[in-house]
Structure 1
Amino acid sequence: MIARTDADEGVHVVLGPISDVLDHLPIPAQAAAEARALSDWRAKEYTAARALLVHALSTLDIDGTRLGKTAHGKPLLPGRRDVGISLSHSADMVAVAVAPGRDVGVDVQEAWLPSPGMMRRCCEPGLVADLTEAPPPERARRFARIWAAQEACVKATGEGIAGHPWKIPVHPGDRTGSWRALRWLHLRDADSAAAVCCAYTERTNR
């Protein structure tokens, strides 16, 4: 089922299963053309995210059928650079965020079991110990919340991996937090099989 929620006033997040999006929403022509160069499953992820973005923007009377990107790969609307947008997919889910007048990033992470090295890279030492002692399913859910928040933040800034998301301090028990000029917010409960996090600027900075 496709669902919509607001992370903050004017910060809209829409998400749903890839199959539901492809069954119920039209695929933009640009996305369909670009997807021909992708593998079958990657094409489904890509077209579903684009279809969901168009759907989310249409509720604000904004045309999202064409998409561009910055030099660092951050998606943008060529004619509406004042509108922050972000896309994410993980396993069978896609999510998009739309925020007029703000920078925004959204990330979906299905729970997955991190390696010891990944935990050491992304977590403070005390948190690594806590995660190591947790049962594997719980460890996977907690780490998904950490990584989703870190990824959402660097998507919002437009830096991506170059922004070193693993250096952003996040505790999996926190529903919300801040980093630089951003506020981040988890949109699902801690026991969910997938983490969904949105990061956004708290004031207009364009």
Structure 2
Amino acid sequence: MTAGTAGPVPALRPGTCQLWWASARDAHPLLRGLLDDAARERADRLRQPAARALHLTAHALARTVAGAHLGVSAGKLELTATCKRCGGPHGKPRPRGPLGLSWSHSGDRVVVAVAVGAEIGVDVERIAPFAGETADRVLCGPERAVLAGLPEPHRPAGFVRYWTRKEALLKATGDGLSVPPELLHVTAPDARPRLLSWSGPARPGLPLHLYDLDAGAGHLAALASLGAPVRPVPFDGSALLAAAVAEAAASGTFRDPTPFPQERPVAP
């Protein structure tokens, strides 16, 4: 799951999507130096230590990886968000240039996805019991029927499989939960991931590609890309953050990992 380099961030190749996996256990106070003011303020508002650890790990890892690809300091990386619906300053965070970026965290897992020239969305969720009204609200009729037909012990994982696929798709399109998830119909939990239908006027004009990911014990995850397909490639985000913390402790400053010397960063 965390195969790949633990050293410098390798350059992105067209048609691939790097998946950087980390854990809430990777949170360290020195990583706060990688966050912008808004992310630090949000972290400070979180009351639960576990939630703060996930937030810190996810934002630090996203900024470290994206900054390395763009050749800028993670602490100075600019991410903008513009709502697809109203144009307001909220929605999917985006770096400059052609770099696609998405991240997610749940339970103990953090994942950051990056690709060049593709809109992507990633979601990871801890497998946990769910309320019946939640399934009624986010699943379409055929999906609810499939879920009800599963043996009861398999229903939590089945629901999470449905949810991660839908969340990844809506992140890739930039719609988020402004599009009700029940308007999307995806394949059954044990079937190859695929979007079967998208009801309503907000259906994207480009094809959507969907992938199930190995998120480790107790978690499920999915990746989606809009337009062209991508090849998911996992990397060790825990080692990347540990190296950043060690360097910060030794020098008092952050120096970001850069692509291999023979590679060039993604052009802005």
TM-score, normalised by the number of residues in structure 2: 0.63
CA 175–51 in structure 1, closer or farther in 2 if over 3 Å, else same: farther
The match for 1:186 is: 212
**Structure 1 residue 9 corresponds to structure 2 residue 15:** yes
SS in 2 for 1:120: helix
What is the rounded CA distance, in whole Å, between the counterparts of 1:149 and 1:46 in structure 2? 22
Contact 1:111 1:195 in 2 (8 A): yes
Which residue does the alignment assign to 2:94? Answer: 76
Q: Pick 1 or 2: higher relative contact order, CA cutoff 8 A, min separation 6.
A: 2
Deviations for 1:54-86, whole angstroms, at most 9, x for unmatched residues? 333355354444333223421111xx1422111
Q: Kindly tell me the number of residue pairs found equivalent between the two proteins.
A: 199
Say yes or no: does 1:112 pair with 2:121.
no
* Partner Cα separation in structure 1 for residue 71 and residue 189 of structure 2: 35
How far does residue 186 in structure 1 lie from its aligned partner after superposition? 0.5
* Residues 88 and 96, structure 1, Cα contact 8 Å, conserved in 2: yes
Provide the rounded CA distance (Å) in 2 between the counterparts of 1:137 and 1:24.
Answer: 39
Contact 2:167 2:176 in 1 (8 A): yes
Kindly report structure 1 stretches of 4+ aligned residues shifted beyond 6 Å: none
2-side partners of 1:75 and 1:139: how far apart? Answer: 32
**C-alpha contact (below 8 Å) 1:148/1:195 kept by paired residues:** yes
Question: Conserved in 2, the CA contact under 8 Å of 1:97 and 1:104?
Answer: yes
**Equivalent in the alignment of 1:56:** 65
Q: CA separation in 1, counterparts of 2:153 and 2:4? A: 27
| CA distance 1:146–1:93, shift in 2 (3 Å) | same
Query: What is the SS of the residue equivalent to 2:228?
Result: coil
Find the counterpart in structure 1 of residue 161 from structure 2.
145
Identity of matched residues, %: 29
Task: Give the root-mean-square deviation of aligned CA atoms.
Answer: 3.1
What letter corresponds to residue 202 of structure 1 in structure 2? G
The answer to whether the 8 Å contact 1:3/1:14 transfers is: no
Contact 2:22 2:57 in 1 (8 A): no
In structure 1, stretches of 5+ residues that fail to align are none
8 Å CA contact retained: 1:25, 1:51: no
Distance 2:19 2:41 in 1: 25
**Structure 1 residues 1-206: aligned runs within 5 Å:** 9-20=15-26, 22=27, 26-27=31-32, 28-30=34-36, 31-39=39-47, 40-58=49-67, 60-63=69-72, 64-65=74-75, 66=77, 67-71=79-83, 72-77=90-95, 80-170=96-186, 171-178=188-195, 180=204, 181-188=207-214, 193-203=218-228
* More strand by percentage: 1
The residue number in structure 1 matching 2:201 is none
- List alignment gaps of at least 5 residues for structure 2: 6-11, 84-89, 199-203, 230-268
Structure 1's 142 and 75: CA in aligned 2 closer, same or farther, altered over 3 A? same
Q: Do the aligned residues in 1 keep the contact of 2:214 with 2:221 (CA within 8 Å)?
A: yes
The structure number with the bigger radius of gyration is 2
